[in-house]
A and B are shown apart, each in its own frame.
Chain A
Amino acid sequence: MTLRRITINKFKIVGVSLCILIFWTSFNVYGNQKYIIQIAASKTPLNINELAQKKSITGSIKEIKGNDWYRYYVGNFNSYNEASLYAKELVNKSELKNVFIRKIENVPEYNEKDKYNNLTEQSTDSITKIKINNSLQNEAMIGHKQESISTDTIVKDSTYYNNNQTKKISSENNSVSNLDDFEKNLSNYIPNFIKDIFNSYSKEKYNFRVILLFLLIVFLFILNVINVLLILIYSNQTQNSTDRYVLVHKNIYESALMSYVLGETNWEQTLKKLKKYNLPQNREILSSILLNFHENLRGVADQMVPEIFVKLGLHHDAIKEANSKHYYKKVAGIKKLTFLYPEGAMQIIPQLLNDPEDIVSAEAQTAFVRLNPENPFDFFNALTRPFTRWTQITAFYIFQLHRRNIPSFANYLDSQNTNVRNFSLRMIIFFQQLENIPEVLNMINCEVESTRFLAIKAINDLRLYNGKSLLKDKFQDETQKNKIEIIKAFSNIGDKEDFDFLKEIILSGNVSLTLEVCRSLYYMGSEGKEKLNQLNEEMNGELELFIAHISDPRN
């Protein structure tokens, strides 16, 4: 048997033993517990016969003495529920105003016969004042709510201690008794055929308040489910009807506006066809149609679109949206103004370039690029918010699409904004702007890694031979990513002067760098290939795999 199997078996044995122990202990703890119904207590012994007659109690009454108190009880039950049932019955059938269910263990009892013979008469007044000794109470009552059942107002100033806290039964039982009255009255209105069920459950088994709470929870649940179902149904229907509405009106408006744009109708005729265009929803539809037109139409037709936008007063809506406090409305407003009301847009957009909401500032930046063909990136100087890569890509896309004038991006290389510097470097590389090489080379010394990377890439892509010595100087202190880029640069600007530098890198043993050196040498030209083969021989063919790797164009 393996050690693991033995261990598992051990745990099984322990687990089973534990279960048995729990049950046995519980049985011993709980099995010897009893529940009694205390009907009276006194500092002096009472005459039980008198007590029984006075309170119309049938059944034997027993006495407990403890801590200077004599307590009189009936019954001896194994469970709380049984005791509770009996107690209710006792209160209903006797003259007792108040009884207590108590849990006890190993209680000493007087012999019944002894009690009857030895009792002395006591004032019945003592019965009305019930003070329960603290320690005995705690001993008997921990963990159980003592239930007091009464159909009448109970004795005043009656208190009990439960875990060292004083509670006034009177107020509690008053509310209980009020509820009981309510329950009693309520049961008069309940039809007979369910009255028995109601009585058996509310009175016999469950507290009325519990039922109310349960019903409340069920009600809330049903309400919740109905709410969700209604939302689902309503949202589906709303969505479908909205879609239908939009489709119908879109077709009508599109057809009317297209006729106007193509010169088939005049403006008055068109307005007549644009029914209810003043409704907010319809104005949204019109805005989206005009945006569509702007995207798809060209020439004269495209020039008419902003005119239509203004004629319909939609520019007011767009300005209002752009000035809204909600970011998503601002974005929608900026879009509409940019495409359809540029004059209005230029008054608002500069204020939004540095909006604290990233999505708004990004939209404003893109709009600025679109609206300023001469100087699309003039806003760089005043920019304090990030110019994210997403915005850069979008701005570049607009730039390319609309063939804007290309500014000299070197002018922005001294910006404090890292994003602006990086974007400028990317643009310098893409547009091959060779007029400001010193500024580009300066970027090699920037403290931001990404800027240095782009500067190295610029040296590589723009074939800036002046930068070779800088790259060599910087190599050792650079990150892995930048080192790889430096090595790549040597495939374009390197020559045999750099062989020693490259050889050092191979000898350093870094696999990625070695691979890039081999690639650079391979693509440097015939001299580079020759050097590579020579190095391979010197290293006893260790570079064989590297050469095979780089010579496969798929790698």
Chain B
Amino acid sequence: MELQYFKTIFEYIFMLYAITILIAYFILAIVSSRELFHNIRISKNTNYDAILSSPFTPQISIIAPAFNESLNIVENIKALLGLYYPSFEIVIVNDGSKDNTLQKTIEAFDLEKVPFVIDYKIQCNKVLGVYKSRKNAYSNLTVIDKINGGKADALNSGINIANSDYFIAIDVDSIIDRHALNKLIKPFFEETDKKVIAVGGVIQIANGCKIEDGQLVEVDVPDKLLPKFQVIEYTRTFLFERMGWSRLDGLLLISGALGLFDKQVVIECGGYNNNTVGEDMELVVRMRKYMTDNNQKYKVIYIPDPLCWTESPSSLKILGRQRNRWTRGLIDTIFLHKNLFFNPKYRTMGMLSHPFWVFFAWLAPIIEIMGLMYFLVLIIFGELNWPFFIVMLSFIYFFAIFFSIYAILFDHLAYHRYKKRKMLLKLMIAAWIEPFIYHPFVVYWGIRGNFDYFIRKKKAWGNMTRTGFTKPN
């Protein structure tokens, strides 16, 4: 008798969870689409000429941690030097690389060690040396050599050395759009009564695209299936989720590959957290908490322009490590800031965003696995209502496809990046098979991340092997 009750309660929980998650994503998608088209209209009327030639344009520091990046470091720095912005400095942080990243950089840009006073406003590992170029052409390049301490530590040391009021944290192997800095700084300049503390942009997958001189010249869909799935996933996430949260003032995550921050606020918050692998999300949450705790009005903004292109892992092993790390980073952030959970003091962040991440990001793979196990038990004991199951499965599958397809559509309508119909068709086909092929892996990696976090107490980043950007076919 009790088991029957148990069973009914279980089923109701699954049903309620499924309905809630679908409604939540649906609402986010609608809000995101409105925000997307609003931004497109605004950007059509924006003229960046003034900011490119103004003496009042603020300097921006680009901080890029580098660990074992000897393959592409020189090309990546050259690409950064070519950005269209009147006043910026590049700070490359060699985080104890075991290869010849530093040596290659020194040779390529004629660097020499300079005497440098570092104010350790944020705690970080010791800096072994600061290098600047002898050539005027690279006068805005600074390279820091330090003891290995992880990405967060490297970013903190970069912040300590950066001269500007704003800094961008990027991955050194990412391709930044030439106009990215103009677009990212604009929200800071448009702030009215609320202080803008962080701005993020869309990250896209560069696999399969044509790259020349460190710049993306032609967009294409990756040939391999795994990066294709990630293209869809990124499109869906950035266009249908992040935009919505930005609009609702509940954005908790600005990607570590590209984000512009108010340096002073970051310093006052204590910089990036060294003890988590989800330092990007954790920083944004902490910044938001800090502003709320100090009764300061603020905004975290997200702009829908694709400003950064990054290499995605093309092997399951590397991708698994990445997703494992993301899961652990997410859990870290959720628990470090557990006092946000349904806390009205933090308004949207506390009442919506944090619970959303808890229930629909962290718990989703766990509940999915529990559902799968329950499903297997029902089959074994002949209790499964097959008609109901098939209908529900169809509904959920088609709903998921709905999101992916409309994300591709909106992306196309907004940016026309994929010029050929064939490219769109490839993406749509990948979207149809994604739930069967890719999604189980995502769930597995989520579970594995939970296991590694709670049981194995794993804190490390893991090895992310780079292959460099592939040339297009």
How many Å lie between the Cα of A363 and that of B42 in the bound state?
11
Q: How far in angstroms is the closest Cβ of chain B from A133?
A: 16
Interface window among A88-96, A177-185, A390-398? A390-398
Instruction: Provide the residues of chain A in CB contact with B408, threshold 8 Å.
Output: 228
How many Å lie between the Cα of A386 and that of B189 in the bound state?
11
Question: Does B436 count as interface, using CB distance less than 8 angstroms?
Answer: no
Chain B interface bracket (under 10, 10 to 19, 20 to 34, 35 or more) = 35 or more
Question: Does B100 count as interface, using CB distance less than 8 angstroms?
Answer: no
Question: Does A276 count as interface, using CB distance less than 8 angstroms?
Answer: no
Instruction: Provide the residues of chain B in CB contact with A218, threshold 8 Å.
Output: 394, 398
The reply to whether B388 and A210 form a contact with Cβ atoms under 8 Å apart is yes
The reply to whether A426 and B56 form a contact with Cβ atoms under 8 Å apart is yes
The reply to whether A335 and B45 form a contact with Cβ atoms under 8 Å apart is yes
Known: A205-B386, A207-B387, A549-B116. A228 touches B377 (CB 8 A): no
Question: Does B293 count as interface, using CB distance less than 8 angstroms?
Answer: no
Q: List 22 A-B contacts (CB under 8 A).
A: A26-B380, A26-B381, A30-B382, A143-B4, A143-B8, A210-B391, A217-B395, A220-B398, A221-B398, A228-B405, A231-B413, A328-B44, A388-B189, A389-B56, A389-B188, A390-B190, A396-B54, A511-B117, A512-B121, A515-B117, A549-B117, A555-B114
Question: Does A464 count as interface, using CB distance less than 8 angstroms?
Answer: no
Known: A218-B394, A235-B413. A555 touches B387 (CB 8 A): no
The reply to whether A515 and B402 form a contact with Cβ atoms under 8 Å apart is no
Q: Which residues in chain B, 1-51, are within 8 Å of chain A measured between CB atoms?
A: 1, 3-5, 7-8, 41-42, 44-45, 47, 49-51
Nearest A residue to B37, CB-CB: A328
The reply to whether B51 and A393 form a contact with Cβ atoms under 8 Å apart is yes
Interface window among A4-12, A59-67, A190-198? A4-12
Nearest B residue to A546, CB-CB: B117
Q: How far in angstroms is the closest Cβ of chain B from A549?
A: 5
The reply to whether A390 and B455 form a contact with Cβ atoms under 8 Å apart is no
Q: Which residues in chain B, 343-396, are within 8 Å of chain A measured between CB atoms?
A: 377, 380-383, 386-388, 390-391, 394-395
Instruction: Provide the residues of chain A in CB contact with B116, threshold 8 Å.
Output: 545, 549, 555
The reply to whether A4 and B413 form a contact with Cβ atoms under 8 Å apart is no
Question: Does A307 count as interface, using CB distance less than 8 angstroms?
Answer: no
Question: Does A22 count as interface, using CB distance less than 8 angstroms?
Answer: yes
Which of A22, A142, A224, A390 contacts B1 (CB under 8 A)? A142
Q: Mark A515-555, 1 if CB is under 8 A from B, else 0.
A: 10000000000000000000000000000011011001011
- Greatest chain A CB density within 10 A among B3, B188, B388 is at B3
The reply to whether A225 and B405 form a contact with Cβ atoms under 8 Å apart is yes
Known: A217-B398, A225-B405, A328-B41. A512 touches B119 (CB 8 A): yes
Tally of contact residues, A, Cβ under 8 A? 70
Q: Which residues in chain A, 191-228, are within 8 Å of chain B measured between CB atoms?
A: 205-207, 210, 213-214, 217-218, 220-221, 224-225, 228
How many Å lie between the Cα of A53 and that of B437 in the bound state?
58
Which of A142, A220, A359, A397 contacts B49 (CB under 8 A)? A397
A389-B56, A511-B119, A555-B132 given; 13 more Cβ-contact pairs under 8 Å: A26-B380, A81-B382, A142-B1, A210-B388, A224-B405, A233-B421, A235-B412, A363-B45, A388-B189, A388-B190, A393-B51, A545-B116, A545-B117
Instruction: Provide the residues of chain B in CB contact with A486, threshold 8 Å.
Output: none
The reply to whether A552 and B115 form a contact with Cβ atoms under 8 Å apart is yes
Q: How far in angstroms is the closest Cβ of chain B from A454?
A: 11
Q: Mark A1-24, 1 if CB is under 8 A from B, else 0.
A: 000100110010000000000110
Instruction: Provide the residues of chain B in CB contact with A4, threshold 8 Å.
Output: 456-457
Instruction: Provide the residues of chain A in CB contact with B68, threshold 8 Å.
Output: none
Instruction: Provide the residues of chain B in CB contact with A206, threshold 8 Å.
Output: 386-387
How many Å lie between the Cα of A79 and that of B395 in the bound state?
27
Question: Does A236 count as interface, using CB distance less than 8 angstroms?
Answer: yes
The reply to whether A390 and B186 form a contact with Cβ atoms under 8 Å apart is yes
Question: Does A39 count as interface, using CB distance less than 8 angstroms?
Answer: no
Which of A392, A481, A515 contacts B264 (CB under 8 A)? A481
Instruction: Provide the residues of chain A in CB contact with B115, threshold 8 Å.
Output: 545, 548-549, 552
How many Å lie between the Cα of A143 and that of B416 in the bound state?
52
Question: Does B110 count as interface, using CB distance less than 8 angstroms?
Answer: no
Instruction: Provide the residues of chain A in CB contact with B7, threshold 8 Å.
Output: 143
Instruction: Provide the residues of chain A in CB contact with B381, threshold 8 Å.
Output: 26-27, 30
Instruction: Provide the residues of chain B in CB contact with A331, threshold 8 Å.
Output: 45
Known: A232-B421, A235-B413, A393-B189. A552 touches B114 (CB 8 A): yes
Q: Mark B178-203, 1 if CB is under 8 A from A, else 0.
A: 00000000101111110000000000
Nearest B residue to A398, CB-CB: B50
Nearest B residue to A390, CB-CB: B189
Q: Mark B404-433, 1 if CB is under 8 A from A, else 0.
A: 011011001100100001001000100000
The reply to whether B401 and A221 form a contact with Cβ atoms under 8 Å apart is yes
Q: How far in angstroms is the closest Cβ of chain B from A555?
A: 7
